[in-house]
Amino acid sequence: MAPQSTKAPGHAGSGPRPDDSNPVGPPSGLSAIPSQYSSEQGLRQSMKQIGYDEAREDGYRLKGIQLIDGVRQSLQLPVKTFDTAAIYYHKFRVRFPSNEYNYEDVALAALFVACKAEDTIKKSKDILCAAHNLRQPHDHKTPDDKIFESASRFTVGLERHILETIGFDFRVQYPQKLLIKMVRKMFPREDNGNQEEGEKFLHIAYSMSIDLYKTFAPIKQATFTLVLAILELTALLLDTNSEKTKEFKKAAIRHTQRACVLETMSDLLDLYTQFPKSTKIGVQFDQKKVMDVKIDINNQVARDKHHRYHGWCDRCVPDVLDTRSVTPGSATSPATNPSLPANGTVKRKRALSEGTQRFVFDADEARKEKDLVTRHLHDEYEEHEVEVEEPIRESEPRHSGRSNHPYRGHGHNHPDYGWSGHHRNSRHGPSNDRHRGRRGHGY
């Protein structure tokens, strides 16, 4: 049956009148609560869907972040722009495979979007020109050069995809500012004896905060977690007095958990042991020292009965990643090959969400809007069982005959003579020839 119709509130004899501030009817769009952080397990599931090859994609991740950092320093942009661009870069690459978009194009487009988000606006041609001069210092170009025309249109088209990937959620954490405050608290200026030690500690910790964005830790952990992990790991590498870091080891006071801090430290140590030459800190310390610190952290994780990744579910472990062999589109990318034309838009567009994503900042208004949607979209039905007697059809009688012609009863105007089929061509004459036997072709 059709859904029950409800009377309009205006025709009711009694009851409250509808509020004019809340129009009746389902609102247009889709209300969603975006998540700023992702778990390690969620990231692996996303990477599995795109056929993430860990051996190849890790190199692209490091090269992309190094390119962002190099262009940022060339254009003298603040470090917060680098943080924002790196997070946009990571979120895009866990959603799209490298065979669709070259990592250099994504890195430069992410920096272009980050410049707008952080109000350090740079033109796309300025970013492309700085990247070109870094790659080819002997061939210096200016932003007004015509070779950047097609690449600029491609970058603007890729900008739309980055905005859709992040869901227009521009929230990004900046650990460097909090890190400097906490280092100053560890080494106060009044103590002249610790001034030199504090400067060295800050130099290592600040460089480690840049290396941190070469991992997925910034899109998994909050700001306090990142800062506490950097402080503790720097103190372990420099053999700093434990009394100075004792206050910061109380993770609960800093609105985080100890397991999250250990996970971030393990991510950094994995980076320094596997890719030491691609980092700022990995080449400054002996690998034996780094391995000793990593063993101590692993023992602490086992002693406290923590998982390697916080919030890991053993029953939800994804299958082995599909390591499909794909070739990145560096040779066919307009940003790396200026001779190819660009269409102004990217090759392929994916629908990341259905409908229009809206942001509602008032919780009460969101609940009220949800109730209105439920009221107009919820259907109520009544089920009734009705017994109906159906007559049994009688079977059709069989027709006598020597054989059943295949065309019988199918709408063809061919009579059934009960004889087997024979060839009807020009030699045998028509089918109704009475004198076939006299011609020597019959019986």
Q: How far apart are CA 419 and CA 401, in angstroms?
A: 9
154 plus 182 within the same structural domain: no
327 plus 262 within the same structural domain: no
213 plus 309 within the same structural domain: yes
225 plus 140 within the same structural domain: no
Does the pLDDT of residue 79 top 80, yes or no?
A: yes
Residue 231, token pair as written in the block:
């402080």
Residue 311 belongs to a domain:
yes
- Give me the mean pLDDT over the 332-361 stretch: 45
Of residues 156 and 352, more confidently modeled: 156
- Give me the mean pLDDT over the 305-312 stretch: 80
Q: DSSP letters along 183-218, please?
A: HHHHS-TT-GGGHHHHHHHHHHHHHHHHHGGGSSGG
The values of phi and psi at residue 31, to 5°, are -85, 130
Q: How far apart are CA 27 and CA 266, in angstroms?
A: 46
Alpha-carbon torsion angle 262, 267, 270, 272, nearest 10: -100
Q: For residue 162, how many other CB atoms are within 10 A of its CB?
A: 21
Does the pLDDT of residue 331 top 60, yes or no?
A: no
Query: What's at 111, amino acid-wise?
Result: L
What residue has token string 């840049």? 210
Q: How far apart are CA 322 and CA 53, in angstroms?
A: 7
pLDDT of 193: 66
Residue 267 belongs to a domain:
yes
pLDDT of 400: 54
Helix boundaries (H) for 118-148: 124-135
Q: How far apart are CA 397 and CA 400, in angstroms?
A: 10
161 plus 122 within the same structural domain: yes
Residue 115 belongs to a domain:
yes
pLDDT of 383: 85
Residue 386 belongs to a domain:
no
Helix boundaries (H) for 40-102: 40-49, 54-74, 79-93
Percent above pLDDT 70 for the chain: 70
200 plus 310 within the same structural domain: yes
Paired with 30 in beta bridges are 357
Q: For residue 3, how many other CB atoms are within 10 A of its CB?
A: 10
Q: What is the pLDDT of residues 208-250, one digit of tens each?
A: 999 999 999 999 888 899 999 999 999 999 888 777 777 776 6
pLDDT of 242: 76
Does the pLDDT of residue 81 top 50, yes or no?
A: yes
- Give me the mean pLDDT over the 197-217 stretch: 91
Range in 295-299, 314-318, 431-435 with the lowest mean pLDDT? 431-435
Domain stop point among 318, 336, 358:
318
Residue 94 belongs to a domain:
yes
Instruction: Note whether 211 and 271 are within 8 A (CB).
Output: yes
46 plus 164 within the same structural domain: yes
pLDDT level of residue 350 (50, 70, 90 thresholds): very low
How many structural domains are present in the chain?
2
Q: What is the pLDDT of residues 151-173, one digit of tens each?
A: 888 888 888 888 888 878 788 88
Of residues 92 and 377, more confidently modeled: 92
Domain span at residue 184 reads 175-318
Residue 78, token pair as written in the block:
């603040």
Does the pLDDT of residue 390 top 90, yes or no?
A: no
179 plus 313 within the same structural domain: yes
341 plus 254 within the same structural domain: no
238 plus 329 within the same structural domain: no
Does the pLDDT of residue 17 top 60, yes or no?
A: no
pLDDT of 342: 40
Q: What is the CATH number of the domain that holds 44?
A: 1.10.472.10
Residue 425 belongs to a domain:
no
127 plus 233 within the same structural domain: no
Q: 198-201: long-range contacts at Cβ-Cβ below 8 A with a sequence spacing of 24 or more?
A: 200/238, 201/234, 201/235, 201/238, 201/240
Instruction: Note whether 105 and 155 are within 8 A (CB).
Output: yes
- Give me the mean pLDDT over the 410-418 stretch: 50
pLDDT of 334: 43
Residue 305 belongs to a domain:
yes
92 plus 47 within the same structural domain: yes
Nearest to 77 by CA among 37, 36, 110: 110
The values of phi and psi at residue 357, to 5°, are -85, 130
What letter does residue 170 receive in the DSSP assignment? Answer: -
Does the pLDDT of residue 416 top 90, yes or no?
A: no
Residue 95, token pair as written in the block:
């959603």
- Give me the mean pLDDT over the 348-363 stretch: 54
Residue 270 belongs to a domain:
yes
